[in-house]
């Protein structure tokens, strides 16, 4: 484990000392998420294309950002979302590695490979929150082209993507900012 520099410790201490936490019914509403990354990771992944860490980091940030949006909006369960799944599917029942699609050409390249109808990743099959967060990561992250490929063959995923984009537009309305990266990305998603 690397030794923490004094300025890192002070910055963390200052942040925690000055952060005000608000509680609503005993649940922390400040919605803070921490992701631990090593120093210099961006420069290492830019100079060595064999390191997949930058893609992982982008997906992780956007996955957690979707969780934060859902937590802020109180979006913990949606019968409409769940009704899109096959009637025989139950979250947590899928066995990782059991899909014959795991041998597809995109599997080594991306976590978004549609293991079963209605899901963009194996992790998404675990529960409602992870299903939503994986869709959010696929929309916002660097590998959204794989999401477009999935939407072309999976109408359930396409419907989940449209529902998520509607929620994101309500959460981040962007009045007068039509040329933002978010608006452009939403327009690049081909899940109509």
Question: What is the rounded CA–CA span in Å between residue 81 and residue 99?
Answer: 23
pLDDT of residue 53: 59
First-residue to last-residue Cα distance in the chain: 48
pLDDT for the residue numbered 41: 54
Which residue is it, tokens 């989940």?
Answer: 160
Query: 15-45 burial by CB neighbour count: b if 16+ within 10 A, else e?
Result: eeeeeeeeeeeeeeeeeeeeeeeeeeeeeeb
Encode the chain (192 residues) as per-residue pLDDT tens digits: 455 566 666 665 554 444 333 333 334 445 565 555 566 555 555 565 555 556 677 788 888 889 988 888 888 888 999 999 999 999 998 887 777 767 666 655 667 888 889 999 889 999 999 999 999 999 998 888 889 999 999 999 999 999 999 988 888 776 776 777 877 888 889 898
Residue 30 in contact with residue 21, Cβ under 8 Å? yes
pLDDT of residue 98: 77
pTM beyond cutoff 0.75: no
């Amino acid at each position: 484990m690397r030794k923490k520099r004094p300025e890192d410790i002070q910055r963390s201490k200052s942040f925690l000392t000055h952060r005000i936490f608000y509680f609503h019914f005993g649940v922390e509403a400040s919605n803070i998420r921490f992701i631990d990354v090593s120093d210099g990771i961006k420069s290492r992944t830019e100079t060595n294309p064999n390191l997949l860490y930058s893609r992982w980091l982008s997906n992780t940030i956007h996955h957690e950002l979707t969780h934060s949006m859902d937590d802020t909006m109180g979006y913990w369960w949606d019968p409409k979302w769940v009704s899109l799944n096959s009637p025989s599917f139950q979250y947590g029942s899928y066995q990782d590695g059991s899909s014959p699609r795991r041998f597809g050409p995109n599997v080594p390249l991306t976590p978004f490979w549609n293991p079963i109808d209605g899901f963009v990743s194996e992790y998404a099959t675990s529960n409602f929150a992870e299903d939503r967060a994986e869709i959010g990561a696929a929309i916002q992250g660097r590998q959204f082209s794989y999401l477009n490929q999935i939407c072309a063959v999976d109408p359930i995923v396409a419907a989940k993507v449209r529902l998520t984009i509607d929620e994101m537009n309500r959460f981040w309305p962007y009045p007068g900012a039509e040329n933002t990266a978010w608006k452009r990305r939403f327009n690049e998603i081909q899940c109509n």
